[in-house]
Amino acid sequence: MRIFYPYTIFAAMKRLLHPIMFAGTGSDVGKSIIAAGFCRIFKQDGYQPAPFKAQNMALNSFATPDGFEIGRAQAVQAEAAGIPCHTDMNPLLLKPQSDHTSQVVLNGKPIGNRHAYDYFRKEGREELRQAVCEAYDRLASRYNPIVLEGAGSISEINLRDSDLVNLPMAMHAGADVILVGDIDRGGVFASVYGSIALLRPEERKLIKGIIINKFRGDLRLFESGVKMLEDLCQVPVLGVVPYYKDIYIDEEDSVALATKSMQAEQGKVNVAVVLLRHLSNFTDFNVLERDPRVHLFYTNNTEDIQKADIIILPGSKSTIDDLYELRRNGVAQAIIRAHREGATILGICGGYQMMGVEVLDPDHVEGTIERLPGLGLLPISTSMTGEKVTRQDHFHLAVSSEDAGLMQGYEIHMGETKPVQDAPLSPLNIFTDGHPDGYFVDAKCMGTYIHGILDNPPFIDFLLQPWKDKIVNCQSSIVNGQSFKEEQYDKLAAHIRQYVDMDKVYQILTTP
């Protein structure tokens, strides 16, 4: 279907747009999704947008086409913009390893672990500031407009002097800042007004608009609220965006996973994803979760695990620490017992490493434990190494009697995994260059390093094959993954267009 847009929009296209930053009153207000929607809108309107977030903190990351690592949110936004993702879109990525330390990834490669206190001190910040500004400048020379995303709250005044990602970045870019507030959590008047009131005068001048996000109910009930906010803040409210349930965009944070709890369903395959403390790349399961043949839930409860037909051990930012916790809390024993009683076990990345005989860390890459026994479900041994593998993959199944065709995914991991002693080579997959991936014992016990493997419908069919007799009146309705994503980006763009004054946005972005 061809979409027609107002003449005023095409008039705005005659000139370059200012950069635009979506900053927040706090974390999880929806900045990433709003930014993705605007990337798609600008693409639809004939521009060449690109996303940018100077510093991201997330365990959910992605591999760029040239083999580097960035935050998943910026990869999603790049996809919405219709361009390949690049490290210049997220030059600084922090991957938490504990409550106090994070791995620091600069320009796509890890440069070491840092304690939070040391990282946020002023000393050494200018080097990082220069690096992220240089990345922005390179990106801005190739794309217009740049859609910047802030981090957390713009008003963390105790961190003001060390901030790399919010208003200091907007100042460097010359960006118009749109403040996003979450009305669903309550206190939106205080959070929006307080965020602006705490800014310095020169910072307040950057705030050109407000978007109220995640509204539930009748929008007419908030009409007076819009006027009150504009009077208080002296900034226009550009739109009130309702909460949605029927648009599926990959999220960056895993805060809601535990709410997808166990209620076994008849006529479906019950899939338990083990809820690890350092679970990473939870978006691996988004496509599987939408499969009508499947009921998927997240748990670290031993009783829930026993009810599952398929148990998936997901990726982890700290394999040894999570493996130690699984052995301590009884989940490891529950997984082994469930497999013995007929459940399928699939390990992905760190979960694949945990399924082996042992995980070795002689160089203390992850911590002080040098060896920890694994679950013993796969005849493999993993040695942690300081070198991180980051790459996009094309592969085919090595073990299926049917030709599932070429599939794709990506790798982000540390560690080298090999069969133990006299165990035969038995890869689950073969890359297009001929190299093997993973290990296959049988149709109910396997592991792989490939994130995104479950984005491929043929692999889902392969995984569910032993359970086909349990599925009642339900056929797979999964469409091509990329086609589905494109449809969702268009739906998100249409949703934002409906509730945000885009003429006003374009006026802001073109006013000298």
Supply the residues annotated as catalytic: 349, 451
Q: Which residues is 408 bridged to in the sheet?
A: 394
The rounded distance, in Å, linking the Cα atoms of 52 and 336 is 44
Distances 329 to 209, 333, 335, 345, 354 between C-alpha atoms, Å: 49, 9, 12, 19, 15
Please report the sign of the dihedral spanned by the C-alpha atoms of residue 56, residue 51, residue 226, residue 507.
positive
Token digits of residue 36: 């993705």
* Helix/strand/coil for 376: coil
The rounded distance, in Å, linking the Cα atoms of 52 and 58 is 15
The rounded distance, in Å, linking the Cα atoms of 130 and 114 is 19
Name residue 152's amino acid: G
Token digits of residue 449: 């390093």
Query: Do β-strands 310-313 and 269-274 pair in parallel, antiparallel, or remain unpaired?
Result: parallel
- Please compute, for residue 218, the number of CA atoms within 13 A of its CA located in the half-sphere on the CB side: 3
Residues in CB range of 96: below 8 A, 6 or more apart: 57, 59, 102, 278, 317
Q: H or E element: which one contains 325?
A: helix 319-329
Please check whether residue 184 is in contact with residue 217, taking contact to mean a CB–CB distance below 8 angstroms: no
Question: Which of 259, 280, 281, 268 is closest to 308 using CA atoms?
Answer: 268
Query: Do β-strands 445-448 and 344-348 pair in parallel, antiparallel, or remain unpaired?
Result: parallel
Q: Where are the beta strands (DSSP E) in 129-236?
A: 146-149, 176-182, 207-215
Number of neighbouring beta carbons within 10 Å of residue 480: 10
Number of neighbouring beta carbons within 10 Å of residue 118: 11
| Orientation of helix 331-340 relative to helix 319-329, angle to 10° | 80
Question: Which of 103, 111, 66 is closest to 87 using CA atoms?
Answer: 66
The rounded distance, in Å, linking the Cα atoms of 147 and 292 is 35
| Orientation of helix 481-499 relative to helix 72-81, angle to 10° | 80
Q: How far is CA 192 from the centre of its chain?
A: 26
Please check whether residue 136 is in contact with residue 146, taking contact to mean a CB–CB distance below 8 angstroms: yes
Question: Which of 418, 321, 413, 409 is closest to 364 using CA atoms?
Answer: 321
Token digits of residue 455: 């984005």
